[in-house]
Structure 1
Amino acid sequence: MPIRTDMTGKSAVVTGAASGLGRGTALALARAGANVLLVDVNATGLEETADQVRALGRQAQVRVTDLAQADNCAAAIAAAVEAFGGLDALCNVAGLIIFSNSADMATADWDKTLAVNLSAPFHLSKAAIPHLLARDGAIVNVTSSAAFIGEAYAAAYCATKAGLNAMTKAMAMEYMKQPIRINAVAPGGMMTNIAANLKMPEGVDYELIKRFSGMRGLVEVDDVAEMIAYLASDAGKGFHGACVTMDRGITAG
């Protein structure tokens, strides 16, 4: 039976939308019929994404903001509700990874990683839930294969992604009896701007890095984006409290 992702007439917020998986998710939602509020700190990238969404015949609103600040998260949701008259989906895609030896990691880098990867999805969800309940909506969090396996030099990233998985399940249980779906997608490595600009710490042991490099290569951004859009739509009504791993077998064993 074919999967049909239909978001016609609905609206969504997508974070990290200036590039990579965030942009791919915004376009997947737009192709499915959704209007989108695009959130990122990269103004130029957001405008490029917005142009592509509008070329698909959908509305796109741009919100240039730093999600490390809780007040900015609430303001982004409010802007989407004002622009579209309500909210049907929140896609928490924005993420940050800073590789470092744990003993050398700057406190500011640790705090920023937690703020963007874990606190921001919470604050966005907190603001969005009342609006999503009104429309039988959905939250889709992007975690990572790093939520399930230890990755050398990525203690902060692994901690936040594992935490986001747990938060997804906890919220799903909390709202088990109410009309909202809360799920996560956990991709493996993808060719995104984040991946292209990664910097390894001095003296890195690449034998350890290879332990979490997929034997089947990188995951396609568009494949993950389509899964996020599917879970955000009514087609994903069978999912609640789930984490869909898309890592080409990295976490299989």
Structure 2
Amino acid sequence: MPAPSSMHGKAALITGAAAGLGRATALTLARAGADVCLVDINAGALEKTAQECRDIGVHALAYATDLSSADNCRAAVTAALESCGRLDALCNIAAVFIPCHSAEMNDIQWEKTLAVNLSAPFYLIQAALPQLLANKGAVVNVTSCAAHMGQAYLAGYTASKAALTHLTKSLAMEYMHQGIRFNCVAPGGMMTELAQGFRNLRNPDPELLKRYSPLRGLVEIEHVAEMVAFLATDAAAGYHGAVINIDNGITAG
């Protein structure tokens, strides 16, 4: 996997940092020298990640909040700037994943999915733009292989991730003449807490689920984290408007 360049003297905001891909990305950027502002709704686990980053030798803020609120997204960026003094990278990793029969998805589940997976990245980007433009920084949005293919029982999730992909591309076009970079990573299934959601799905059709099962198995979290961190640094200067699939070939055909 590509390696991130040095982030010494720079700062990154990472959402979903309490566990899984967010935690792995935070640690990868910390090892590259970045001070980090870590955001998640799980305060206890978030603080553990922050302490792991501090043990590496960087400054780390644990900022627990619910990103389904636009005001909370803006406050998270403010907290990052106050704590780190600057912002050079924004990694939008937090996600809501609710497998269910579409006819049974209630208003709260639908709205929460779109709020965290799509609206939160937009509000965070919007709030961070002045700093990221000034520092010629980077935004990395984590989408999913589900953004590129219809998947049964995931109407809300696939819709939100497909929209996030095109949000990334649209912002890349809008800011084509500035130094800021917008990219996204689209992983396949990983062994994270999100992946456990299918266990609660009532009476799924196994034939439908089989269609989305990668023949090469699950993707390694660390491999995805390394790509997210790489895109957040100057080492990825040539990437803008890119969508990087890391899915063990599930979208190949």
Q: TM bucket by the smaller chain? A: over 0.9
Q: Any residues of structure 2 matched to 1:1-253 within 5 Å, and which?
A: 3-253=3-253
| Cα distance in 1 for residues equivalent to 2:4 and 2:172 | 23
CA–CA separation in structure 1 for the residues paired with 2:108 and 2:131? 33
TM-score for both structures, normalised by structure 1: 0.97
Offset, 1:5: 2.5
Instruction: Tell me: CA distance 1:153–1:177, structure 2 relative to 1, closer, same or farther (3 Å).
Output: same
Q: Can you list the C-alpha shifts for 1:121-174, whole angstroms capped at 9, x where unaligned? A: 000000011110110100000000000011110000000000000000000000
Report how far residue 179 of structure 1 moved: 1.4
Q: Do the aligned residues in 2 keep the contact of 1:99 with 1:199 (CA within 8 Å)? A: no
Q: State the AA in 1 paired with 2:95.
A: G
| Unmatched segments (≥5 aa) in structure 2 | none
- Rounded Cα–Cα distance in structure 2 between residues aligned with 1:159 and 1:180: 26
The percent identity for this pair of structures is 58
Q: Which moved more, 1:190-199 or 1:86-95?
A: 190-199
Cα offset, 1:9, TM superposition: 1.3
| Matched residue type, 2:176 | M
CA-atom RMSD in angstroms: 1.0
Whether contact under 8 Å (2:4, 2:231) holds in the other structure is no
Asked if 1 retains the 8 angstrom alpha-carbon contact of 2:97 and 2:197, the reply is: no
Aligned 8 A contact 1:5 1:229 in 2: no
Give the distance between the partners of 2:83 and 2:3, measured in 1 at CA. Answer: 29
The 2-side partners of 1:4 and 1:93 are apart by 17
DSSP-derived class of the 2:225 partner: helix
Measured after TM superposition, the shift of residue 193 of structure 1 is 1.5
Cα separation, 2, equivalents of 1:146 and 1:110? 16
Q: Secondary structure at the match of 2:67?
A: coil
TM-score (ref. length: structure 2): 0.97
Counterpart residue type for residue 52 of structure 1: E
Deviation of 1:69 (Å): 0.2
Aligned amino acid, residue 245 of structure 1: N
Residue 4 of structure 1, CA deviation: 4.7
* CA separation of 1:99 and 1:77: change in aligned 2, threshold 3 A: same
Give the Å deviation of 1:63.
0.5
Counterpart amino acid of 1:229? A
Measure, in 1, the Cα distance between the counterparts of 2:184 and 2:235. Answer: 15
Encode CA deviations 1:177-201: one digit per residue, 9 max, x unaligned: 0110000000000001121354443
| In 2, Cα distance between equivalents of 1:26 and 1:5 | 15
Shift of 1:103: 1.1
Q: Letter of the aligned partner of 1:155 in structure 2? A: A
What is the CA–CA distance in structure 1 between the aligned matches of 2:120 and 2:199, rounded to whole Å?
24
Residue 149 of structure 1 aligns to a residue in which SS?
coil
Query: Which amino acid in the other structure matches residue 185 of structure 2?
Result: V
**Whole-angstrom distance in 2 between the partners of 1:154 and 1:25:** 25
Q: Is the 8 A contact 2:3 2:226 kept in 1?
A: no
| Whole-angstrom CA distance in 1 between matches of 2:3 and 2:218 | 24
Distance in 2 (alpha carbons) for counterparts of 1:155 and 1:141: 20
Question: May I ask how many residue pairs the two structures share in their alignment?
Answer: 252
